[in-house]
Amino acid sequence: MIKRLTTHGNSWALIIEKAVLDLLKITPETPLEIVTDGRNIIISPVGKAKREKLFKSALTKVNKQHRKTFKALAE
């Protein structure tokens, strides 16, 4: 899907179709996190972003605690 920005007052806006919003369960009240990697804009509902951050944190902790075991299993 290719989109173009539209003007909205003194700003620009990106219109997202209702079908996409429904698929992602995003409503006008849903807080969205907007981040960039320097090339892309990533828009995510805050709830999902927080879960992903917690998961990555837990994964890092498990990897540190069981590094030797994982290494032995890989050999």
Q: So what's the pLDDT on residue 29?
A: 87
Q: pTM of the prediction?
A: 0.53
The amino acid at 41:
I
pLDDT at 53: 83
- Provide the pLDDT for residue 31: 85
Confidence (pLDDT) at 48: 64
Please list the ranges in the chain whose pLDDT falls under 70. Answer: 48-49
What's residue 49's pLDDT? Answer: 66
SS (H, E, C) 22-64: HHCCCCCCCCEEEEECCCCEEEEEHHHHHHHHHHHHHHHHHHH
pLDDT at site 21: 94
State CA 9 to chain mean position distance.
Answer: 28
